Structure 1
Amino acid sequence: MSAEIRALEPKELWNKFADLNDVPRPSKKEERVIQFMKDFGAKLGLETIEDEVGNVIIRKPASPGMENRKAIVMQSHLDMVHQKNNDTVFDFDTQGIEMFVEGDWVKAKGTTLGADNGLGVATIMAVLESDTIVHPDLEALFTIDEETGMTGAKGLKGGILRGEILLNLDTEEDDEIGVGCAGGVDVTATKTYEEENVPQDFIAYNIEVKGLQGGHSGMQIHEGLGNANKIMNRLLYSVINAIQITEIDGGSLRNAIPRESSAIVVSHKNNDRFIESSLLEIVERIKMELKTKEPDLEINFNTIEMPLKMVNQDLSQNLIKAIYAAHNGVYRMSPDIPDLVETSNNIARVIVKDGKIKIGCLTRSSVESSKADLANALTSTFELAGCKVELSGDYPGWAPNMDSDILKVMVPIYERINNGEKPHVAACHAGLECGILGTNYPNMDMISFGPNIKGAHSPDERAQISSALKYWKFVLEILKNIPKAS
C-alpha cells in the first residue's frame, strides 16, 4: 500500500510521509524517530543537533537571492497519538502505520494515521531535501512528546533558535490561519481503598460502552460527541443504590475523547430484575439522545462469573456521584471570538481496580483564569469524594497577534492562489506548541496552518489528498515571500 501513497501528488510530501510512517513514534517513545530525523539531516549534509530533551534541529542556508529575508523556523512534532480499534491487532511500538487510499482520503487500517503532525514533519523534510524550493535561512524544529505533555517544547531552551518567524504546521483545516490557541492542565484524581469480599448471594454484571467516534478533545469538544466515561457513569447512576463497583476501565489518552468503557458491578440476587430493567431503560434514552452524533454506539450488559472483591457501597456511590458532577465538554465559549470554545474539560480516563482509583482529565482554556476556575471546580468535586487531586503538565495558551508581519504576508497569498477565497484567521481550542515556545522566544512572530485532517486522535483519522496539494502550494508561496530582514 506504500506505493499507492507514494504515487499521490505532491509526491515530495507523500513520499516523506510514507517514510516517516514506517517509523514507530508513539508519544514518550520517540527514540527511533529522533534517530531517523538525525540520520536524515546528516545524509543531507546539513547541521543537525539534538537538544538535551530530544528535540531535533536541522539548519539549511537560504536559497540564492533569499539571504536578505528574515530567517524562519518550520516546526512540527515527531510523536503521534496511538489509538486503535479493539478488533485491530497492532503494536505501535514495533510496527509502521498501514495506510490506504479511499477516494480523496488517506486512511490507516484500524489505527490512527499520524497525519497529526506527520504531514507537517513530512513537509519540512521535503523542503530540507529539495534543491529547487526557494526559501530564506531555515531552521527545522522537530519537537517530541507534543501529544502527552509538550515536554519537547517546554524543554527547548532560549537562545538555540535563530529564526524571527515560526511556521507551525499543526493546524487541521486548510482554510484556517491560526493566530492563537488554548493552554491546558492535567487534572488527576486518585484514591486507594480496601477491597471487600463479595458475598455468595450476589450476582455480577459486565457492562460495555463502545462504538463511539472519539476524536480530538480540543478541536472536537464542541461537537456533542459521546464520552464513554460519562455514558458509563450515567448507566451506573441509574442503579446506584443497588450496585457496588468491582472495576472500571474507560478511555485512554487525555487528548482523545473516550470511545470505550467497561465495568464490572455486583449486586444482591434479589435486585436482578430492577437492575436489568433500569439499564434497558437508560440505554434506550442514551441511544435516542445520541442517535444523530453516535449512530454506531453499542451498550451491552450481561451476567458473568462472580469476582472475588468489590468496592464498598459508600465509596461506590461517592465515586459515581463525583464523576456525574464533574464537568465534561464545553465550559465557556469565548465572548470575544465568535464560535471559539474558550474553556473545556475532557474526562479522559477512569480506572478502578485492585484497590486503586484514578481519574484523568485534560482541562483547556485560552484564558488562564478560566482554566484555573474549571480546574478548581473539578478539584473540589473529586475531593468531596475523598480523592487526592493533582494538577500537572500546565502549559500556557498563545495570545493572538493580529499585527503579525507573517500574517500580513499569508492572507493575500492565500486569496491570490485560491481565486479570491478568504482564509479564516482564528484562534483554536487545541493545544499548539506556540504558546510554550513563545515563553523563551517572546519576540518570535508565530503562525499556524496545515491541510485538512479529520478525526485526529482516533482510528477514523484521515488526511485529504486534494487539500494536501492545496496546502503544499501555499507553503511554497509563503517561503518565497518571507519579509525582508530589517
Structure 2
Amino acid sequence: MNTEIRQLEPRELWNKFADLNAIPRPSKKEEGVIAFMKNFGKNLGLETIVDAVGNVIIKKPASPGMENRTTIVMQSHLDMVHQKNNDTVFDFENQGIEMYVDGDWVRAKGTTLGADNGLGVATIMAVLESSTIQHPAIEALFTIDEETGMTGAKGLKGGLLEGKILLNLDTEEDDEIGVGCAGGIDVTATRTYNEEETPEFKIGFSIEVKGLQGGHSGMQIHEGLGNANKIMNRLLFDGFENFGLRISEIDGGSLRNAIPRESKAIVAIDAIHENTFLAEINDHAEIIKSELKTMEPDLKIEVSKVETPEFIMDLGVQEGFTRAMYAAQNGVYRMSADIPDLVETSNNIAKVVVKEGEIYVGCLTRSSVESSKTDLANTLRSTFELTGCEVEFSGDYPGWTPNMKSPILKVLSKIYKDMNGEEAHVAACHAGLECGILGQNYPEMDMISFGPTIKGAHSPDERAQISSAQKYWKFVLEILKQIPAK
C-alpha cells in the first residue's frame, strides 16, 4: 500500500520510513518496534544493545579514513503520537500506517503519519545500513516513550555512550537549528462527586464539538487553534441558570501533548426550556465559530436530542467544575523576554472526562524557565483545588538551556549557509526535546537538533514535505563528512 512512498527520493530514507511505519509503535507499547530495531542492528552485524528501559543503541565504526573524527550520537525516538479522525476506523496497536503522496507532501489516511520522529529514525537506519556514506564512529540512540513522558531518555544511564556530539533529529523546520527547548510537567486534577437520579421533567441532549485541527501542544500552542475542552465548557457554562442544564457525561480530548480536537457531552435540561435551549445554544455556537473561522473553518458544534440520561452530576460540583474550567489557563501564559517570538510558558488542557461520579482533567504545562513552569502549575493547582479537586504533578522533565557558543552549532551553521546561501534560523523551541534530559547524565556532550519540515504533528493532518526531506538528507550527509577531529 506504500509502494509510491518507496519510489520517492532519497529512496534510502523513504524506504526505511516505510519499513518503520509498517510496525505499530504507540507510546508505552513499543515492544514490537524495539524488537524490530534490535533485529535491524543484529542483521547488519553491528553491536546492538537494548538497555533496561527499552532504549536501543546500535554502534557502527567509522568509515575508512574517518577514524580520527569525534564519535557522534545520532538520536531519535521510536514512539509516535496516535491520533485519528473520528470517522476513521484504525487499530494503531495492530495496523501499519497507510501513507500516500499529496503533491509535495506525504500524508496518512485519516491518522497521524509518524514522521515525528519516524523520519529521524529512518535517517539513522539508512546511515547505519549504507556502505558508501562517509561518517565518523556512530552510536545510534533510539529512545522510547518520548511522547508520553520521555521515560526512555530519563532511564538512559550514564556510561553507555562515548560520543561527544549528539545530533537530535526531532526538529520540524528544515531551516532551523535547535539549541534549546521547553521542559514540562503534567498537571492532573481529579475528584469524585455524587450522582443524582435525573428528575422526570428533564430531557436529554448530546452536544458535540468536532472538526478542529488539533496539533502539537507545544509548537502550535500560540497559533490560536481551538481547544475542544474549553469550547465545550463555554457551551455548558451558566446552563443551569438558563435551562436547568445538568451534566451527565463529558469526554473531551485524548493525548496530553495534542491540542484537543473533539469533545462530547450528554446533558439533561428542563423540558419546558427545550426550544429556548436549542435557539440559544445554536446562537452561542455560531458566535464561537465566527470567532475561530480563520483558524478553524471546519469547526462543527452539533446538538441533538437523545434519551434522557439516568444520572446527573451533583449541582454544587457541576457549578464549581465549570467555573474552574473557565478560569484554568489554556494557551500561552508568557512569551520569552530574551528570545524573540518564543513562547516561554504555556498550558494545554488536554483531556477532560466526567463520568460515573468521577472528574478527570489532564494538562501539560510547558516552559523554558523552571520557575515559570512551577508558577503556572501552581496557578492551575490553585484553580482546581478551589473547587475540591485533588491535584497531582507528575512527569516533570527539564528544558534544554541554549548554548550559543556550542562548537557543533558553528559547524552546522556554516554547512547550512554554504549549502543554501543563507543563514539557518538558530532557535530554541517550545516543544519538549530529549536533549535536556539526556544532558543530565551526559553533561559534557555537545548537542544540536535539526530535521525536515513536518506540519501538523500530533494530529491527523500531520504531513512531511518531500522536497524538504531531500534538502535535509543532503544536509545530514554533509554534516557527517564534516564532523571535526577528536
- Taking structure 2 as the reference length, the TM-score comes to 0.99
Matches within 5 A, 1:118-157: 118-157=118-157
Alignment check: 8 A CA contact 1:405 1:483 kept: no
Instruction: Give, as a single letter, the amino acid of the residue that structure 1 aligns with 2:378.
Output: N
Matches within 5 A, 1:453-464: 453-464=454-465
Q: Which residue of 2 aligns with 1:400?
A: 402
Supply the distance in 1 between the matched residues of 2:160 and 2:470 (Cα, whole angstroms): 32
Q: Which residue of 2 aligns with 1:264?
A: 266
Supply the distance in 1 between the matched residues of 2:52 and 2:312 (Cα, whole angstroms): 46
Q: Per the alignment, in what secondary structure is the counterpart of residue 250 of structure 1?
A: strand
Deviations 1:246-305 (A, max 9, x none): 000000000000000000111221222332222122111101100110000000112110
Deviations 1:181-235 (A, max 9, x none): 0000000000111211001111111000000000000000000000000000000
Q: Which residue of 2 aligns with 1:95?
A: 95
Matches within 5 A, 1:176-255: 176-241=176-241, 242-255=244-257
Q: Which residue of 2 aligns with 1:435?
A: 436
1:445 corresponds to 2:450 = no
Q: Which residue of 2 aligns with 1:479?
A: 480
Instruction: Give, as a single letter, the amino acid of the residue that structure 2 aligns with 1:475.
Output: V
Instruction: Give, as a single letter, the amino acid of the residue that structure 1 aligns with 2:138.
Output: L
Q: Which residue of 1 aligns with 2:74?
A: 74
Supply the distance in 1 between the matched residues of 2:208 and 2:101 (Cα, whole angstroms): 32
Instruction: Give, as a single letter, the amino acid of the residue that structure 2 aligns with 1:5.
Output: I
Alignment check: 8 A CA contact 1:78 1:145 kept: yes
Q: Per the alignment, in what secondary structure is the counterpart of residue 24 of structure 1?
A: coil
Q: Which residue of 1 aligns with 2:469?
A: 468
Note the residue ranges of structure 1 that are not aligned, 5 or more in a row.
none
Q: Which residue of 2 aligns with 1:59?
A: 59
Supply the distance in 2 between the matched residues of 1:107 and 1:281 (Cα, whole angstroms): 36
Alignment check: 8 A CA contact 2:267 2:309 kept: no
Q: Give structure 1 regions of 4+ aligned residues with deviation exceeding 6 angstroms.
A: none
Instruction: Give, as a single letter, the amino acid of the residue that structure 1 aligns with 2:120.
Output: G
Q: Per the alignment, in what secondary structure is the counterpart of residue 133 of structure 2?
A: coil
Instruction: Give, as a single letter, the amino acid of the residue that structure 1 aligns with 2:95.
Output: Q
Alignment check: 8 A CA contact 1:254 1:360 kept: yes
Supply the distance in 1 between the matched residues of 2:140 and 2:339 (Cα, whole angstroms): 32
- Between 212-221 and 278-287, report the one with greater CA deviation: 278-287
Counterpart of 2:383 (choices 376, 381, 384) is: 381
1:341 corresponds to 2:304 = no
Instruction: Compute the displacement of 1:240 (Å).
Output: 4.1
Instruction: Compute the displacement of 1:433 (Å).
Output: 0.3
Deviations 1:399-442 (A, max 9, x none): 00011111010001001111x12110000000000000011111
Q: Which residue of 2 aligns with 1:413?
A: 415
Q: Per the alignment, in what secondary structure is the counterpart of residue 191 of structure 1?
A: strand
Alignment check: 8 A CA contact 2:172 2:455 kept: yes
Deviations 1:299-342 (A, max 9, x none): 01121101111101111111111001000000000000000000
Supply the distance in 1 between the matched residues of 2:9 and 2:18 (Cα, whole angstroms): 13
Alignment check: 8 A CA contact 1:210 1:298 kept: yes
Supply the distance in 1 between the matched residues of 2:392 and 2:463 (Cα, whole angstroms): 35
Supply the distance in 2 between the matched residues of 1:222 and 1:94 (Cα, whole angstroms): 34
1:316 corresponds to 2:313 = no
Instruction: Give, as a single letter, the amino acid of the residue that structure 2 aligns with 1:97.
Output: I
Q: Per the alignment, in what secondary structure is the counterpart of residue 13 of structure 1?
A: helix
Q: Which residue of 1 aligns with 2:113?
A: 113
Supply the distance in 2 between the matched residues of 1:247 and 1:208 (Cα, whole angstroms): 12
Instruction: Compute the displacement of 1:238 (Å).
Output: 4.6
Instruction: Give, as a single letter, the amino acid of the residue that structure 1 aligns with 2:206.
Output: N
Count of residues paired in the alignment: 484
Alignment check: 8 A CA contact 1:240 1:320 kept: no
Instruction: Compute the displacement of 1:77 (Å).
Output: 0.2
Supply the distance in 2 between the matched residues of 1:410 and 1:454 (Cα, whole angstroms): 23
Supply the distance in 1 between the matched residues of 2:371 and 2:91 (Cα, whole angstroms): 40
Q: Which residue of 2 aligns with 1:361?
A: 363
- Taking structure 1 as the reference length, the TM-score comes to 0.99
Q: Per the alignment, in what secondary structure is the counterpart of residue 280 of structure 2?
A: helix
Instruction: Give, as a single letter, the amino acid of the residue that structure 2 aligns with 1:357.
Output: I
Supply the distance in 2 between the matched residues of 1:365 and 1:400 (Cα, whole angstroms): 14
Supply the distance in 1 between the matched residues of 2:361 and 2:379 (Cα, whole angstroms): 15
Supply the distance in 1 between the matched residues of 2:399 and 2:240 (Cα, whole angstroms): 39
Q: Per the alignment, in what secondary structure is the counterpart of residue 375 of structure 2?
A: helix
Supply the distance in 2 between the matched residues of 1:193 and 1:203 (Cα, whole angstroms): 22
Supply the distance in 2 between the matched residues of 1:375 and 1:294 (Cα, whole angstroms): 28
Counterpart of 2:309 (choices 288, 307, 310) is: 307
Q: Per the alignment, in what secondary structure is the counterpart of residue 318 of structure 2?
A: helix
Q: Per the alignment, in what secondary structure is the counterpart of residue 447 of structure 1?
A: strand
Alignment check: 8 A CA contact 2:189 2:360 kept: yes
Supply the distance in 2 between the matched residues of 1:440 and 1:275 (Cα, whole angstroms): 58
1:350 corresponds to 2:352 = yes
Q: Which residue of 1 aligns with 2:425?
A: 424
Note the residue ranges of structure 2 that are not aligned, 5 or more in a row.
none
Q: Which residue of 1 aligns with 2:13?
A: 13
- Between 232-241 and 429-438, report the one with greater CA deviation: 232-241
